[in-house]
Amino acid sequence: MQATRAIIYLDKFRQNLAALRKKAGPNRKICVPVKGDAYGHGSVAISRCALEAGVDCLGVATISEGLELRAGGIKAPVLIFTQGMPEELPEAISEDLTLFVFDGEAIDIAGREAEKANKDLSVHLKVDSGLGRSGCRPEDAAALAARIVSQKRLRLGGVGTHFAVADSREADDLAFTREQIRRFGEAVDSIKKAGIDPGIAHAANSGAFVQHESAYFDMIRSGSFLYGYSPVIGGEPSATPIMELRTAVVSIKNCKKGEAISYGRTWVADEDTNIGLIPIGYGDGLVRALSVSPNKHSVSIGGKLYPIVGRICMDQCMVNLGPNPTVKRWDEVIIFGPGNITAEDIGNKINTVAYEITAGINKRVARVYVN
């Protein structure tokens, strides 16, 4: 097996899922977002694990991601979070994917394509309760729901929204999220008052799951929490990271005082030392920003931390092993993982979120699933 690989601990994924289900209660549905190749963890494998654990549906960003699940043998409901192109709809309808819609034109296009296919299509109405991205205004929800059910082949399967700052504990942000919850609740109620079944009402992302129980509605869509990173620091329940990124030391070379390492000569040895070469770089997802001077990351070898030195290359990087190394060639290297440096630690160093780090692990990095 190649040196660089991502170990995915499915038992830890199930542990996070069990914690979510315990807090959410037994009667709420759970949608597991597996967009972005399941945040870098492998969409088909994570989907199978989630469904075996009893989740109700899956969520992806694009129709092509939904088709990838179908090609992988996934038969469960799959919700498409973003707006697809009209030419993608026939295949989406053929494969029983569930679309989000939020304006009259998109509803009419979906209705026409479903009629052409002579097949019922379930859609969910997206409500913009305050994120300012996609979705209809709450006051337009009932009229658009009526437009959906007026279509011969469309079925209103649900109504959803998304939060802007549900992970924040700032007073203004807590109040804003409560207002989003109120607006969405009013939109759902307006559909009911119009005599239309809104289907599954869903709003809670990971941040709302942790600290806004009033956002639970009928179904929870939690992504980052299930992959091990709660967006609310110190929030309960806690989550356990499920990915460990490993590689190996493939060579060790002497470096004299005053010699430079890697592109740009940004790091120069201040003493005679030894440099370990590890076969992982930004082409694998080890972001180059970690090596912008001063270098911001250290890897774990044999339980001890060693700093990356010089610029991270596309396929390789270098670590300073010191003048009298105990590290040997072929020793295992942990870039991040449970119980070590986490993806969240890396994200904090470059001002981003943990799941941008995991989602950025390239598909050329082998995924190894551990139960």
Catalytic residue positions, numbered: 35, 263
Tokens standing for residue 163: 């939060």
3-class SS at 158? Answer: strand
> CA of 112: how far to CAs of 12, 91, 106, 109, 241, in Å?
44, 14, 10, 5, 44
In terms of DSSP H, where are the helices of 118-199?
141-150, 171-193
Instruction: Tell me which DSSP letter residue 74 carries.
Output: -
In whole angstroms, what is the distance from residue 295 CA to residue 75 CA?
Answer: 46
HEC profile of 250-293: CEEEEECCCCEECHHHCEECCCCEEEEEECCCCCCCCCHHHHCC
